[in-house]
Each structure stands twice: as structure tokens, then as C-alpha cells.
A = this chain, B = another copy of it.
Amino acid sequence: MTDRAMQEPTLLLLTALADEPRHGYAIAREVEAISSGRVKLRTGTLYGALERLLQQGLIEVHSEEVVDSRLRRTYTLTSPGRTALAVEAERIAATAREATRRLGAGKAATA
């Protein structure tokens, strides 16, 4: 199945694109900022994920400009990508709520 639950790096990548289009390297820095330095996207993960998300239609190339004779490809969320991120965010938020609830409601004072 391809609808295996999204992992943190992918989720953060999409989140980094949620407010405005960004190019690969900028995404990596943004992800690091969002996660307070916790998650540093490796280039292998980054460009691999971009490739995958393009094929899944969750992101698309926003623009390609040449800066200092270097290509800079900018990506943006597609409509389905926006929806997918919203769904995924709600899904994990619900799981987090349930986990927190059970931790509080259960045999909390045991250990």
C-alpha cells in the first residue's frame, strides 16, 4: 500500500510548503526551524521525498529560476497536497489527544 501513514520528515516538508513556495534547500532550513532543530532533513531524504510527492501530485514545481548560474527549483503545495496535509494533521492530532487522554486516565500513579 502507498497509503502508509506519512512519516515525520514528509509531514514537516509539506508543512514547510504550507505558507509559501520554497526551493529544496530552503525547505530543509525551514523544517529544521519548525522542529526547533530536532529534524535535519538529509538531502537524500529531501530530494527523494520531493520526487515522491511530485509523483503523488501533492506538490508541484512552482518556478525554475537560474541564480548565480545554478538552478533553483521552487515547489508549492497542490490542492490535493493541501487537503492531504490537513487530513494528516487532523489524524495525528486525534491520535495525540487519545494518547494524552489515556496516559492521564489510566493507572497514572502506578509506577
Contact = CB atoms under 8 A, between A and B. Distances in A.
A10 to B, nearest CB: 10
A74 interface: no
A26 interface: no
B20 A99 contact: no
* Majority SS at the chain A contact face: helix
B7 A99 contact: no
A35 B96 CA distance: 11
Instruction: Give the oligomeric copy count.
Output: 2
Interface in A77-100: 78-79, 82, 85-86, 88-93, 95-100
Interface stretch (A11-19, A48-56, A65-73): A11-19
**Interface residue range, chain A:** 35 or more
B18 A106 contact: yes
A98 B7 contact: no
Contact of A12 (B38, B95, B103, B105): B95
Contacts of A88: 99
A62 to B, nearest CB: 11
